[in-house]
Chain A
């Protein structure tokens, strides 16, 4: 029995590694490494600069305020949310519709969960590079008060692991949705990511939203994750920017994250199993819609 478990773990790890490598190849091998590096830098920097210029136009060139740092850092960490959600759910569409390999993955002895996590991992890695680039750009050129020595690393890593766990669970839920839908699969992940961008107060304090939108925002896990990342990177002073989230201490933010991530993982498991069962029953695993 012990041999069987260790063998399954070994095989699972091998499948995960292969899926991650495949995801990385799909993402990056269309260009030589230099072009890919430039591509990876331009997008996050341009997205950050949009916010920077919006801010500078209004403040007539004055950066370096607390609100500016709040907006900038929130936007930088949000790259993870879009990247991971899209990466995991898009793997279903890509493999089913484009490469037509999803049915073969189901025929192989690997677990689809592990495969999806591996494919998402490649996006996670690319997102991590983009986040690092955006934060470095902000610290070096835009006076965002990010000091390597002042970052609360234990809090940052604890929050990062919990938050990413939650986002991965959400990605699995979206992958389940993609399994049983023919159209708009791309739109579903973008809609969810867009809703989080707006309702979680990623680029503004939650307080400026109407009350009904605030009520939705405070039940969404990424709200707490992004806030935790801001506090880890900028210090606890940044908690004063939002009165709604300022009520939460650093440790209570982590507790909320822990609870919501555990809940999301459980729900994502149930949902994906149900979606998978439905897809098998209705013959959707190998459908090709050309949509």
Chain B
């Protein structure tokens, strides 16, 4: 890639991320809905554990799960389904006739989404921890930070792959994103330790980066709680592998789907 091409791509990444970063600051009312709303559901799960007289670390497990939910929702609705919304608003064709690569657009979307969602997830984590007095006993903070960032890389890599695969979809994109909520909450153990699903189900669910990321973060944030599925070091290695695989396949899928959409004339279809 030439220097001017690199500069152009970096500017495109920033431009696509900018919409989300600035959007997050200009329209602050979203903070109320995007923090308050998930906190309601998360609090309900905390009270279920209180009704069952569960050990106190389970409150922390739920709060962490509630915070990570924000990332999954962002991946589904603002990554996977994004090209559907863009198509509805007539933007998709503009992206594709611009001189940048669609991968660059996806990367900008992912970075902007991570920024916006981190504010949301951070707010849920802080508010939830304060309200329910969660006690964290963080072990190996560096490993914890690495695990978190690799979980995000793999998660948004999966989002980029979904965005490519969803490119041809009309309303199905909306329904598929809707469908991928509760089953993924279940399989990734957002509200209970994933080990509770049994080894083989948890192993299969590990293809969702949220599963390994959340399990590792819980182990390191609540040291010695004893509910881990795999050692955090193994989870880190698996997440690194998933990140590479998802981003590689996202690139290939995007090329393939773009070609297919062009041949079938579906890039500008609206109200499907």
Quick one: given A58-B52, A208-B50, are A30 and B44 in contact (CB under 8 Å)?
no
Complex formed: what's the CA distance from A49 to B182 in Å? Answer: 9
> For residue B29, which residues in chain A have a CB less than 8 angstroms away from its CB?
183-184
B43 at the binding interface (Cβ < 8 Å): yes
**Contacting chain B: which of A40-48, A147-155, A220-228?**
A40-48
B47 to A204, Cβ gap below 8 A?
Answer: yes
**Contacting chain A: which of B101-109, B170-178, B228-236?**
B170-178
Which of B44, B185, B197 gathers most chain A CB within 10 Å? B44
CB contact list, A167-216 vs B, under 8 A = 183-184, 187, 190-191, 194-195, 197-198, 202-205, 208-209
Q: For the complex of A and B, list the 7 residue pairs with the smallest distance between their C-beta atoms, beginning with the closest.
A: A194-B40, A187-B33, A204-B51, A46-B182, A57-B196, A46-B183, A30-B171
Contact with B along A18-47 (1 / 0, CB 8 A): 000000000000110000000100110011
Q: B175 touches which one: A30, A46, A203, A205 (CB < 8 A)?
A: A30
A1 at the binding interface (Cβ < 8 Å): no
Complex formed: what's the CA distance from A195 to B89 in Å? Answer: 32
Contact with B along A48-85 (1 / 0, CB 8 A): 01110111111100000001000100000000000000
> For residue A198, which residues in chain B have a CB less than 8 angstroms away from its CB?
40-41, 43-44, 47
Q: B191 touches which one: A50, A195, A290 (CB < 8 A)?
A: A50
Q: Which residues of A contact B (CB under 8 A)?
A: 30-31, 39, 42-43, 46-47, 49-51, 53-59, 67, 71, 98-99, 183-184, 187, 190-191, 194-195, 197-198, 202-205, 208-209, 290
> For residue A290, which residues in chain B have a CB less than 8 angstroms away from its CB?
89
**Interface band, chain B:** 35 or more
The prevalent SS among residues of B at the interface is helix
Quick one: given A30-B175, A43-B182, A71-B48, are A53 and B192 in contact (CB under 8 Å)?
yes
B18 at the binding interface (Cβ < 8 Å): no
Contact with A along B214-256 (1 / 0, CB 8 A): 0000000000000000000000000000000000000000000
Q: How far is the CB of B215 from chain A (nearest CB, A)?
A: 13
The prevalent SS among residues of A at the interface is helix
Q: B182 touches which one: A31, A47, A99, A203 (CB < 8 A)?
A: A47
> For residue B181, which residues in chain A have a CB less than 8 angstroms away from its CB?
43
> For residue A30, which residues in chain B have a CB less than 8 angstroms away from its CB?
170-172, 175
